[in-house]
Amino acid sequence: MEQITVEQALSYTRAGDRVQIIDGETELYTGYASLLHEETKERIAHRLVKKYHYSLDIRHKDWERRGLMPPIEPDEIAQYSFSDLQLSVYTQIII
């Protein structure tokens, strides 16, 4: 299996894609690909990717009122909205 760097993995995303970059147990970044700080990008650009996949974040719209687990980004608008659920798709890059 060919290995890729974080820089290469990010090149597969679009500006409006939501990305989550995780280093071991530490979440380095969660948000839109276009808003990833250049300093962070440069610092991790040449690190090898251990896992690259998509992750769904499905939560109840009234998660807070019901005392449920919050979405990955509680202040962001969900990409898809159903009668009582909200869904966001993240590209997860694990290094």
Sequence spans of domains, the chain: 6-94
Residues 30/40, Cβ–Cβ less than 8 Å: no
Q: Can you give the pLDDT of all 95 residues of the chain as single tens digits? A: 589 999 999 999 999 999 999 999 999 999 999 999 999 999 999 999 999 999 888 777 777 777 777 777 777 766 666 777 788 889 999 99
Report the predicted TM-score, pTM, of the whole model to 2 decimal places.
0.78
Burial 53-79 (b: 16+ CB within 10 A, else e): eeeebebeeeeeeeeeeebbbeeeebe
Look-up of token digits 């890059």: 93
What pLDDT does 61 receive? 76
Q: How far is CA 18 from CA 67, 91, 95, in A?
A: 25, 6, 17
What pLDDT does 1 receive? 59
